[in-house]
Structure 1
Amino acid sequence: MSPSAGTIFRLWFEEVWNKNDTDRITTYLAPDGIIYALDLAGGDAQGPDAFRAFFEQFMESFSDVHFTVHEVMETEDMAAGRWSAQLTHSGDGFGFPASGETVTVTGMSMIRLKDGLVVEGWNEWDRLRMATTCRMVAPPA
């Protein structure tokens, strides 16, 4: 029996993000699975290779990355949860020079499973806080 959607949601953040285990991407993400709204521009990634490319660029740009999953709600094939992440902008990826700033961002994600794998994932998170704290954009007046 496959783990529940809520369990996979939690494992994704713990194993892929917190443990930086890129081998787990293919454990949880279907070959044609799509993750929406990953980056500051709201870009998507379809399939494990595209997600891995985003993930590696992200980890080159940010260090000390740690996600905390606060709550998860689930149905049969879907899970949604609220999370926060603390990270330091230590690299020059994504077209912005490293600021050295540490930032905490909050967000919510939702996943849909098919045959025990994520086939769709949606993300909404505080892109403005990250962009202004890390000096990627000027703060609002």
Structure 2
Amino acid sequence: MDECWSQGKLESIGELVSDNCRIHDPVFPALTSGADNLKRHIGMCKKGFPDLKFSIDDTIAERNEVVHHWTAQGTHKAEFLGMQPTNRKATVTGTSIYRIEGGKIVEQWADWNLMSLMEQLGVSKAPAMEGQARDSAAKQSRA
């Protein structure tokens, strides 16, 4: 996954992630399934933080599950979750759990520290969740 997130090689996702992969991330409730949605999600994150880099701090693997504790760092250069660019550098940590079947990720759970990101970016109000940001932009364009 490092080459997808850090290097932006989104074509690798199809090799790693099942088309029917279920994805659980409370910050991105619209991100529910599939390699294509994950590509879109990574693209959105890389747009907001073009220099985004992930490092794996710890890995635990047992049976058909892999757990990564990770650190992500990047500079906020474009809108992300409705937050306008701040040009500030930010570092967040999180944990991802992957369930593997047939050599591909079929389910993923992610948990990371959104409040820490907001604090580092100097954002005081809660950002829009992924689906809410899109809905809000559509409403504004109709007004």
Q: Decide: shared fold, TM above 0.5.
A: yes
Q: 1:57–1:94: 8 Å Cα contact kept in structure 2?
A: no
Where do 5+ consecutive residues of structure 1 fail to align?
A: 1-11
The one of 75, 86, 108 aligned to 2:95: 108
1:45 counterpart SS class: coil
Residue 11 of structure 2 corresponds to residue 23 of structure 1: yes
Q: 2:31–2:41: 8 Å Cα contact kept in structure 1?
A: no
The Cα shift of 1:52 comes to 1.3
d(CA) in 1 for partners of 2:15 and 2:62? 21
Residues 103, 42 of structure 1: alpha-carbon distance in 2 compared, 3 angstrom cutoff: farther
Q: 2:98–2:109: 8 Å Cα contact kept in structure 1?
A: yes
- The aligned residue for residue 23 of structure 2 is 35
Where do 5+ consecutive residues of structure 2 fail to align?
A: 127-143
- Aligned counterparts, 1:114-125, within 5 A: 114-125=101-112
**Where is the strand percentage greater, Structure 1 or Structure 2?**
1
1:133 counterpart SS class: helix
The one of 54, 60, 69 aligned to 1:67: 54
Residue 40 of structure 2 corresponds to residue 56 of structure 1: no
| Aligned partner letter, 2:6 | N
d(CA) in 2 for partners of 1:81 and 1:57? 21
d(CA) in 2 for partners of 1:125 and 1:51? 16
Residue 69 of structure 2 corresponds to residue 91 of structure 1: no
Q: 1:67–1:85: 8 Å Cα contact kept in structure 2?
A: yes
1:44 counterpart SS class: coil
Percent of counterpart pairs with the same letter?
21
Per-residue Cα deviation, 1:112-138 (whole angstroms, up to 9, x for no partner):
011110000111111101122223335
- The aligned residue for residue 9 of structure 1 is none
Which TM-score applies when normalising by structure 1? 0.81
d(CA) in 1 for partners of 2:59 and 2:88? 29
Over the aligned positions, Cα root-mean-square deviation in angstroms equals 1.8
d(CA) in 2 for partners of 1:65 and 1:78? 26
